[in-house]
A = this chain, B = another copy of it.
């Protein structure tokens, strides 16, 4: 069983190791942490912690380093989320100052997170607002392809290519006019409904032209969660340290394959004050088994989306968690919605 002191020892090992990047021994521990016992006692405690899988030794007669399980316990039981420093709070404010529009906010957030945490930041776009459609534009790309561009009242723009029977410019103009006549001003959902009704009333030739367009609009309308992410601070990963060198290729792969990032952020159930931490092998994308993900959920007026950072398992969890949480809340406020939880990072 783990008594209080053993937990304290684990915490101290984590803190020291994160700082020094070197296995930490019993003597150094008592010296740096005012534990009022002798090194030998600590050794016994560490032996127990190792037996239980919270610590490990790179080799006999070296100090101990935390395992994934050790970090997990640390994060769950021991880490009190540090309040942000004034400088950090100010940085957030000045970074986001004057941000206009979703694109801008998301881009700045990514840079901000990366800069504050010195890690790789990932920000998911908020789901498109269910705001009414402003305009639909059809552009003839090639003989069989029509580009469907949808603009919402919030300024969000979506595109999709529809495969249609060939039409000349005049046909396209007619189509555009009728689509806009029906859909403009409606919410995406009801626009699709109305368009389907129109489709049913059309002669077969007209229907064959319109159908793919309606399909494209339906797809755009149906994408309830955004699948776009923005990444910031990629250069930071060059500084993770030599132990993590093997990680940079997989991580770059993941960044190139944005799908993986979405999956990483995706399951952000929030366990601790709205921050979710996945340590090492806990995140199920194999190649990233030596990195941790700290993420949170922010709310925009069109629903929740995720944001977070990816870094080495040996990271400063308390501050990273604090930063991620603070940024998530700030962005939530910026994008016009209230976060559910209280604002206890504010004092």
Contacts and interface: CB of A to CB of B under 8 A. Distances in A.
Given A137-B135, A139-B153, A157-B159, A101 B147 contact: yes
A142 B100 contact: yes
B252 A100 contact: no
Interface stretch (A10-18, A232-240, A275-283): A232-240
Interface residues of A, number: 33
Contacts of A253: 235
A249 B155 CA distance: 36
Contacts of A155: 139, 141, 147, 149, 159
A218 interface: no
What is the oligomeric copy number? 2
A182 to B, nearest CB: 17
Interface string A93-109: 00000001101100000
Contact of A252 (B149, B154, B159, B237): B237
Contacts of A209: none
A289 interface: no
Contacts of A157: 149, 157, 159
A196 interface: no
A89 interface: no
Contacts of A256: 232-235
A211 interface: no
Nearest to A169: B153
A149 to B, nearest CB: 6
A153 B233 CA distance: 36
A154 B149 CA distance: 12
Given A101-B161, A155-B159, 6 more contacts: A100-B141, A101-B145, A101-B147, A149-B151, A157-B157, A233-B256
Nearest 5 Cβ contacts at the A-B interface: A238-B249, A139-B155, A235-B252, A147-B155, A235-B253
